[in-house]
Every structure is written in structure tokens, then in C-alpha cells.
């Protein structure tokens, strides 16, 4: 896919990975429509893009609301003539002890991460089918390939998004529409730190709990690309759609996870259990000083 000259809609573009995707696409020559819940950060992003010589337009939209989505697509068609690229980046997370998660926790995540993407696809698809061309990038997660125990609603939504993307890819490619799904691992955004999982008592034994943060720190410090900047992840995603790849991995480590799970599922399950134990223990501890 050639990015230059396209019209690209990016959801969840207020900050983090969405903002980085908007900037990278603009530098590649796309006219970017930055969408999200809050107008002010979207307008600031667009001002930055235009200051760097790009073209951008801020149009707020809540992907939980089909009426707002329809209005967004109608306005983009009016102002830009078409939508060539849809980037479904909007996402939220929730997690904790599965017994403490209410129905609202599940609904909140699924409404945005899965159904929001499905609504956006439904809205842009008639125009793409009429032109027999277009590209859709769904931003899933490595959690959509291996589910963390503390983030089951988030992982479930991302597993579903990967499956949704696979079905779309098969259904739409004969019609000239390309579908990709990106599965980033650790990217330095506020999603990593802004949501605290709900944890139940009792606390872990002191000896194990004391080792947990240091064990997790050691584990994550040995994962290549663990502190990836949003800009780097965005560049790799855009390069993936330029090369018309279906599955886009931003981190090489994700390849290892996929291969290990396929070749040695029982060993992977035992190792994954240890990773999840470290993850829970670190959340029970105050930050190391």
C-alpha cells in the first residue's frame, strides 16, 4: 500500500500510540483525520502535524456510539472525498482478580476494543467496497495472542479482535480491501500505568512477595524492545501495512511467544504461569526505591 496521498482515519488519537500513528502517517504523506473523545488534544496534535508540513483534521468521536461514527464518516467523506485507511486504535483496559470483575468491567472493554472496531468497519466498508480498494488496520495486542491472568477482559477483547481481523482479511481481500492486525507488546503509553488491577486479599507470603518486584524487573529487563516508544511501534505498524502484511508484530519477542506456544504448549503454559505470578506480585508491592 502506498500511504502518500491517502486519507487516513485514526481512532484513539488523543495521545500515546494513536497520536504516534497519526504523526507517522502524516509524515508518509497521508491526510490524517485524528479522532477520539477529547477535542483539545486532537487539535493540538493536528496543529503539530501541520506545523511539520503535514495535513490533519480533528474530528472527535466516541466509538461506542454508532450515531457519532456515522456522523464522523459522513463528515470525512464531505471534507476529504473518501476514506482510504482506517486505523482502529481506540482501546481501554480493565483487569484484576476474575472474581472481582463486574459486568460493567467486561462491557466497558468490549464496547470499545471489539465492538467499537466493528462499528467503524461497518461504517467505512460501503465506500471501500464501492471503490474496490481500502485498508483497515486493527490494533490488537500481544495480549491477544497470550492472555495475562490479571487482564482477562482486555485479553479477551484483543483475542476477539485478532479473530475479527482474520475473518475480515479472508472476506474482503477478494474485493480489493486489505486488512491487517497489529499485536504490540510493551509500548510506553499511559495504558501501562493508568489502570490498577483489582486484587483480592489475602496478601502473598512475605518471602515470595519481597522477591516479586525484583523478579519482574529482571524478567522485563531481559525482553528486547521492552520500553518501546510509541513512535517506534507506530513506524513498524505503518511499515507493515505498506508491505501489506496481515499480522504485524512490533516486538521480535512476540514471534518467540507465538512459536513457543505452538511447538511446546505444556512448557509454555508452565512458564506463562510463572510470568503471571510475577505480574500479580509486583502489583501488590509499592514501587521499589
Report, as residue numbers or ranges, the catalytic residues: 154
User: With contact defined as beta carbons under 8 Å apart, do 112 and 139 qualify?
Assistant: no
User: With contact defined as beta carbons under 8 Å apart, do 9 and 124 qualify?
Assistant: yes
Q: What is the CA radius of gyration of the chain?
A: 20
Cell of 184: 504490540
Virtual torsion, Cα 30, 34, 40, 41, nearest 10 deg: -80
Cell of 20: 504516534
Cell of 195: 489502570
User: With contact defined as beta carbons under 8 Å apart, do 86 and 61 qualify?
Assistant: no
226/185 Cα distance (integer angstroms): 8
| Cα separation of the two ends of the chain | 47
User: With contact defined as beta carbons under 8 Å apart, do 138 and 161 qualify?
Assistant: yes
Side-by-side strand order, sheet with 55-58: 55-58, 31-34, 7-10, 85-88, 134-139, 177-182, 247-248
Instruction: Give Cα separations from 99 to 94, 150, 154, 279 (angstroms).
Output: 13, 11, 15, 17
177/57 Cα distance (integer angstroms): 24
Which among 12, 56, 1 is positioned nearest to 244, based on CA atoms? 1
231/211 Cα distance (integer angstroms): 33
Amino acid at each position: 500500500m502506498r500511504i502518500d496521498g491517502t486519507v487516513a482515519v485514526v481512532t484513539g488519537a488523543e495521545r500515546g500510540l494513536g497520536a504516534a500513528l497519526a504523526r507517522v502517517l502524516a509524515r508518509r504523506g497521508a491526510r490524517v483525520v485524528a479522532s477520539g473523545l477529547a477535542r483539545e488534544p486532537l487539535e493540538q496534535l493536528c496543529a503539530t502535524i501541520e506545523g511539520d508540513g503535514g495535513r490533519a483534521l480533528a474530528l472527535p468521536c466516541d466509538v461506542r456510539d454508532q450515531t457519532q461514527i456515522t456522523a464522523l464518516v459522513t463528515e470525512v467523506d464531505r471534507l476529504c472525498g473518501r476514506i482510504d485507511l482506517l486505523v482502529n486504535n481506540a482501546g481501554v483496559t480493565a483487569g484484576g482478580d476474575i472474581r472481582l470483575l463486574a459486568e460493567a468491567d467486561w462491557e466497558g472493554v468490549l464496547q470499545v476494543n471489539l465492538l467499537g472496531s466493528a462499528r467503524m468497519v461497518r461504517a467505512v466498508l460501503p465506500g471501500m467496497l464501492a471503490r474496490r480498494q481500502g485498508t483497515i488496520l486493527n490494533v490488537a495486542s500481544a495480549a491477544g495472542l497470550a492472555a495475562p491472568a490479571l487482564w482477562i477482559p482486555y485479553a479477551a477483547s484483543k483475542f476477539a479482535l485478532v479473530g475479527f481481523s482474520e475473518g475480515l482479511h479472508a472476506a474482503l481481500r477478494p474485493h480489493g480491501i486489505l486488512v491487517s492486525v497489529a499485536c504490540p507488546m510493551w509500548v510506553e503509553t499511559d495504558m501501562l500505568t493508568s489502570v490498577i488491577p483489582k486484587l483480592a486479599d489475602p496478601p502473598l507470603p512475605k518471602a515470595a512477595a519481597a522477591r516479586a518486584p525484583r523478579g519482574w524487573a529482571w524478567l522485563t529487563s531481559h525482553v528486547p524492545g521492552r520500553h518501546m516508544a510509541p513512535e517506534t511501534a507506530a513506524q513498524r505498524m505503518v511499515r507493515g501495512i505498506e508491505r501489506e502484511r496481515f499480522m504485524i508484530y512490533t516486538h521480535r519477542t512476540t514471534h518467540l511467544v507465538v512459536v513457543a506456544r505452538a511447538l511446546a504448549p505444556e512448557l509454555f503454559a508452565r512458564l506463562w504461569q510463572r510470568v503471571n505470578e510475577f505480574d500479580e506480585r509486583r502489583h501488590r508491592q509499592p514501587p521499589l526505591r
